[in-house]
Chain A
Amino acid sequence: MSVGSQRSRWIWPGFALPGVLWLAFLFLIPLYVVLCLAFGTLDPIFRSPVPEWNPLQWDTTQVAFVFSHIFGDDGIFGPAIVRTVVFVLLASAGCLLISYPVAYFVCRFGGRRKGLLLALLIAPFWISYMMRMLAWVNLLQTDGWVNKALSAGGIFPVHVSWLDGRPSTVIMGLTYGYVPYMILPLYAGLDRIEPSLIEAARDLGGSRWSTFRQVTLPMSKPAVIAGLLLVTLPMVGDYFTNDLLSGSPSTSMYGNLINNAILVPAQVGQGATFLIIMFIVLLIPMIYYVRATARAEGDTV
């Protein structure tokens, strides 16, 4: 084998090096640190967490505590988990219901203004999530603009206390906060569908609805799944929306469990355990997505 061919053999895999390093330093090593904290101990004087780097000496106390308090009589974490599932499902469904028509409209009817419309759709990304939620706090106050708008300028007095710890407000906040994350993949997926396929369906006698149901919708399924993943995964760990728009324990979510735990030095190990559980649970839809995508690509080939 010549020197040149040996060199070229390493060039292309070499391009993966930055990605590998990125993965190692920003994912695998932090993940190991989280594991070491979950299975670690406490500083006897300062009560701060002490990670245990040697897996052979891992202590399971904190992990066992969390698992033993999820369900059953001692299931103090169970309600927050159930609440999270419900909130995330409803908010994800809300995102889909809002995003799909918007993305569809831009793709099919955007015409030359597609770029502009897309830019407007991603405009919320220019403002931080935190600031957008803070804006809602002002809008939703009892004397805020939402109530003023609902009261039609004071004709019908409305005094809804949106921020008093309502699940509906939290779900609304999650939906609003994550909608842009779903619009983009949906737009990309819908934009890739050949217009000729839709025209063919119509030429073959399909109505608008049946064409959408039998052609557009199935072909946009990977984009829907990608969009759902993009919004669902961060929603599960979200604590800020609930903190800001509710602040009541009656709407505490899984992210709040993590946040509450890591803010108490002696409970950091529990926080790490919550993170590991979330990571494992969220791997399932990720694996499903990867398999579904691979299957779709196989079908295409």
Chain B
Amino acid sequence: MRHSREHALSEDRSKDPNDQQRGDGLSRRSFLSRGAAAAVTLPSMAAFLEACSKKDTTGGTVGTGPAPTATFSVASPENPVKWPIFDDNKPIASGLTPEQNATLNVYTYVDYFDKGAIKSFEKKYQKYNVKVTLTTFEDTTEAIGKIRTGGVQADIYNPSYDQIGKMVTAKLVQPINHDYIPNIANVWPTYTNPFYDQEWQYTTPYVLYGTGIAWRADLVSEDIAAMSNPYDIFWNAKYEKKMSVLDDYRTCMGMVLLRNNLSVNTYKAEDLDLVHKQLSLLNQTTKPKVNVTDYTDVPTKIVSICQAWAGDAVNMVSYMPQGQSPDVLRYWSPTGNENMTDNDLLVLLKESKAPVMAHLLLNHMLDYEVSIGTFSFTGYQPPQNKITPEELVSSQFIPKNLASAVVLQKDWESGQHLLELPPDVDSQWQAVWQQFKAGA
């Protein structure tokens, strides 16, 4: 699992063959997006749990039985959710002294947490002799399982939106005391009241990821960004076996839906049938690779065009072979409602033994300089107010030709988010994807 967030912009790491391996297989984004972007609303959670109290044997496949969807609803921009704060799980009091000799454990993806941020945090609070350790997971399913069973004792965790409702209800996370996190002022105001956690009671934002198309201008004659429907390029037989799509069912199928001006969270069988047909056609016409190594495949000319997360496009720069200019790289993503942008989160786990210090670490991660370090390390952009395409280009953080890979607040606010799907709908999606990946 894995993908370009695991590839820092350092030269040394870009030459490490292990990086390529780490880039292979299932991505963090896969799981992030598999669950994607939402949560079960609390009013319906009790009913949902009740509905689910019987064993579900749907198997996650089409036509394998009814799923408990009657009371299932998801958080969305149109249906924002404010999670409850339980009497036995309240935020810590304000003004507490940070714990002495604490060791904070951050449970995160491999290479997803900048070690520079850890060093600066330990230095900042050295009078408290704080240490920060990292424990990593491959996917959030594995992570949740270990948190639930106590297999991993951590203070801070990197969930996806869809896990928030489940974690709040199961009291795996603790609410945040905002007094300890003044740096929230550094990030887009929308994150003080995001749809998936109204009034940011349990979450702070981490990094953003938009989705679009990356290509090499020296190998692709078309100006993809200027095409009436840029996604059509994936069905252009001229580029047979010269392209890749992301190995993430929500993101890739979402691309097909966007191509047809449909919702990326569709429940409609006819929409999924259309996706199925167009993916089959894709397999026949251009035979794309399905992977998450586009950030190396484009620089090394294994493919000329790819579906890419914005962070992948940024990371491509550091993977360009010696002597080749990144000026040939291009990135396009749609704007407005056709944009597909999401973000990762940080939460404080209920079992934290040093909750005050953990709050301080959450605050530290929202610091501008620390966030820039995170951006540099992961390639993914924190939603900092000060980060703009102009500023990143002028500071030579990214080349001008990739300025379009910077995610804007308006894109996040107006774009579509990959929301959690009810189990039976999700099974339908998975079945289409399974067939596509089987090469049938």
Contact = CB atoms under 8 A, between A and B. Distances in A.
Interface of A: 41-48, 50, 59, 61-62, 65, 75-80, 83, 130-131, 134-135, 137-138, 141-143, 161, 163-166, 243-244, 246-252, 256-257, 260-261, 263-267, 269-270
B17 A131 contact: yes
B59 A251 contact: no
Given A143-B321, A161-B242, A243-B24, A42 B58 contact: yes
B57 A256 contact: no
B52 to A, nearest CB: 3
B21 interface: yes
14 contacts: A44-B51, A44-B52, A44-B68, A47-B423, A61-B61, A134-B20, A141-B302, A142-B301, A142-B302, A143-B301, A248-B287, A263-B1, A264-B434, A266-B427
Listed from nearest, the 7 A-B pairs whose CB atoms lie closest are: A266-B60, A44-B52, A164-B241, A249-B439, A247-B289, A252-B439, A76-B440
Contacts of A50: 55
Contacts of A265: 60, 141
Interface string B56-89: 1111110011001000000000000000000000
Interface residues of B, number: 56
Contacts of B30: 263
B170 to A, nearest CB: 8
A65 B64 CA distance: 8
A252 B433 CA distance: 13
A61 B440 CA distance: 22
Given A48-B141, A48-B145, A166-B241, 16 more contacts: A42-B55, A44-B54, A44-B56, A45-B170, A47-B60, A61-B64, A83-B439, A130-B21, A141-B300, A142-B300, A142-B302, A163-B302, A165-B289, A247-B244, A265-B60, A270-B61
A243 B241 contact: no
B134 to A, nearest CB: 23
B227 interface: no
Contact of A42 (B1, B17, B59, B300): B59
Contacts of A269: 59
A141 B166 CA distance: 45
Most chain B beta-carbon neighbours within 10 Å: one of A42, A80, A164, A266: A266
B150 to A, nearest CB: 16
Given A47-B423, A138-B17, A247-B290, A267 B302 contact: no
B302 A80 contact: no
B136 interface: no
A264 B60 CA distance: 9
Interface of B: 1, 17, 20-21, 24-26, 30, 34, 49, 51-61, 64-65, 68, 139, 141, 144-145, 166, 170, 241-242, 244, 283, 287-291, 293, 300-303, 321, 423, 426-427, 430, 434-440
Given A79-B439, A141-B300, A247-B244, A59 B57 contact: yes
Nearest to B166: A45
Contacts of B139: 263
Contacts of B291: 243, 247
A300 B305 CA distance: 62
A101 to B, nearest CB: 32
B58 A266 contact: yes
A252 B59 contact: no
A61 B57 contact: yes
A94 to B, nearest CB: 22
Given A48-B141, A142-B301, A252-B438, A65 B34 contact: no
Contacts of A131: 17
Contacts of B303: 164
Contacts of A76: 434-435, 438, 440
Contacts of B427: 266
Given A48-B145, A138-B17, A143-B321, A270 B59 contact: yes
Given A61-B57, A143-B300, A269-B59, A164 B290 contact: no
A296 B16 CA distance: 50
A161 B297 CA distance: 12
Nearest to A246: B289
A267 B26 CA distance: 15
Contact of A46 (B20, B61, B166, B244): B166
